[in-house]
């Protein structure tokens, strides 16, 4: 059987999407995705505190974040595709219980080995959010699918953006372990509500797990839209990760001398950018995927040009950084949702696999951007890091322009 996928009308597996999805359910899914994905980012601003407490060397401190990312990438490739063959509600419930247990282990761990293992397991379990996104797409009718996905993704993006400042503030008040205990309790509560509130969805596929995983390469190789959208967002998310990795270094430097609380408050400004996701989804529903993509890529480039004028602390430079952060997050959230709207139109039977591949590919781009940002800032400072941040979406824009050349051909 060929794995080539063509854009087509909704398949028979989409029978659940004949009526509009209730607004309360969209809101619940958005909140759930935000709560789940935040677990990936709680540790990032706490690395110094955690390292000292569990006896991890400074050279190995980066493993706290890296292993969580590795776990998440593995989950995207080997767990998220199960959404195409297993009942979605039960799959998410199981993932959340696993995540809660991993969070409790993270909070309790007294040595570095146990903490790092727990951190990786948190990453694996957190992919439950990426099962909920295509699940929401299944529930939505074709005419409003982009809007629904955009609304759900806005919750996920808010979770990403709020996680760092929230964990910083909780650590200041209660110690670093508290955020993981609190999140474990919250995730258990979420799982119990979720299993009662969500309608069931039984995929029509009769694939075995081996066939499911074996089909991933074929889907990637034969689905041009997936490859293109994943590469666009890999470059965009690389810039996003670069900015949010290096801007705390800039703000804590002698030129700005921000406190940890001030840095946490600055991180909150990016929340405003998440509200571009539903707007992008509506544009995609109207058939404006191609022009909206160009606008999103252009916005990301602009967001990296603005901070080139930032050198020392002043009302002007801080304002410019705030604007850049909001504009960046707008472009990134819009491009992500447009990409998901495009790949979700390819058929219900492959949505979970498509979403897993899409997220895994651009997640690699994010990890590369974060690493490149740290290296560039250390070697050449803020301006050098920004030049890399500009180059990545420029490459994506150049690749995007080939869409028009192919259309003319």
Ramachandran sector of residue 267 (left: φ over 0; alpha: ψ -120 to 50; beta: rest): alpha
Q: Which pair of tokens denotes residue 113?
A: 């080995």
Closest CA to 301 of 276, 328, 323: 328
Rounded to 5 degrees, φ, ψ at 244 are -75, -10
Record the pTM.
0.81
Max CA-CA distance within the chain?
Answer: 62
Buried b (16+ CB within 10 A) or exposed e, 144-153: bbbbbbbbbb
Query: Alpha-carbon distance 35 to 125, whole Å?
Result: 12
Q: Which CATH number fits domain 20-408: 1.10.1610.10, 1.10.357.10, 1.20.140.10, 1.20.1250.20?
A: 1.20.1250.20
* 191 and 103 Cβ atoms separated by less than 8 Å: no
Q: Which pair of tokens denotes residue 3?
A: 């794995």
Q: In this predicted structure, what is the pLDDT of residue 207?
A: 82
- pLDDT tens over the chain, length 409 residues: 334 444 343 333 444 455 678 889 999 999 999 999 999 989 877 877 888 899 887 667 667 877 888 899 899 999 999 999 999 999 999 999 999 999 999 999 999 999 999 999 999 999 999 999 889 888 888 788 888 888 888 888 889 888 988 988 898 889 999 999 999 999 999 999 999 988 888 887 778 899 999 999 999 999 999 999 999 999 999 999 889 878 888 888 888 888 767 877 887 877 777 777 788 888 888 888 899 999 999 999 999 999 998 888 888 899 999 999 999 989 998 999 899 889 988 877 888 899 899 989 988 888 888 888 878 888 899 999 999 999 999 999 999 999 876 655 5
Count other C-beta atoms under 10 Å from residue 371's C-beta: 16
Query: Alpha-carbon distance 309 to 125, whole Å?
Result: 41
How many Cα neighbours within 13 Å face the side chain of 276? 23
What is the C-alpha radius of gyration for the chain, rounded to an integer number of angstroms? Answer: 21
Q: In this predicted structure, what is the pLDDT of residue 369?
A: 87
Q: What is the DSSP letter of 9?
A: S
């Amino acid at each position: 059987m060929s794995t080539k996928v063509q854009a087509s009308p909704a398949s028979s597996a989409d029978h659940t999407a004949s009526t509009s999805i209730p607004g309360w359910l969209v809101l619940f899914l958005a909140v759930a995705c935000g709560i789940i994905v935040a677990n990936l980012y709680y540790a990032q601003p706490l690395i110094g505190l955690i390292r000292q407490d569990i006896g991890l060397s400074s050279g190995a401190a980066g493993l706290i974040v890296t292993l969580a990312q590795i776990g998440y990438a593995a989950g995207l490739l080997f767990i998220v595709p199960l959404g195409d063959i297993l009942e979605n509600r039960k799959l998410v419930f199981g993932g959340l219980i696993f995540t809660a247990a991993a969070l409790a282990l993270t909070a309790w761990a007294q040595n570095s080995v146990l903490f790092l293992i727990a951190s990786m397991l948190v990453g694996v379990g957190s992919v439950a959010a990426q099962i909920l996104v295509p699940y929401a797409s299944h529930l939505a009718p074709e005419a409003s699918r982009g809007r629904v996905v955009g609304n759900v993704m806005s919750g996920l993006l808010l979770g990403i953006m709020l996680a760092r400042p929230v964990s910083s503030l909780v650590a200041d008040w209660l110690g670093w372990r508290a955020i993981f205990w609190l999140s474990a309790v919250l995730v258990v509560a979420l799982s119990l509500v979720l299993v009662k509130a969500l309608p069931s969805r039984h995929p029509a596929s009769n694939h075995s797990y081996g066939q499911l995983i074996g089909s991933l390469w074929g889907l990637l190789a034969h689905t041009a839209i997936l490859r293109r959208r994943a590469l666009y967002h890999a470059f965009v998310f690389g810039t996003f990760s670069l900015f949010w990795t290096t801007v705390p270094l800039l703000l804590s430097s002698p030129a700005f001398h921000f406190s940890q609380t001030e840095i946490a408050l600055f991180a909150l400004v990016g929340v405003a950018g998440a509200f571009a996701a539903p707007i992008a989804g509506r544009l995609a529903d109207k058939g404006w995927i191609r022009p909206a993509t160009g606008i999103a890529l252009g916005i990301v480039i602009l967001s990296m040009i603005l901070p080139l004028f930032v050198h020392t602390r002043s009302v002007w430079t801080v304002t410019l950084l705030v604007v850049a952060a909001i504009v960046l997050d707008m472009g990134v959230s819009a491009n992500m949702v447009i990409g998901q709207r495009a790949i979700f139109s390819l058929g219900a039977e492959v949505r979970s696999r498509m979403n897993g591949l899409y997220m895994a590919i651009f997640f690699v781009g994010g990890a590369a951007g974060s690493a490149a940002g740290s290296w560039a800032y250390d070697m050449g400072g803020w301006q050098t890091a920004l030049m890399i941040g500009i180059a990545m979406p420029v490459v994506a824009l150049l690749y995007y322009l080939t869409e028009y050349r192919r259309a003319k051909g």
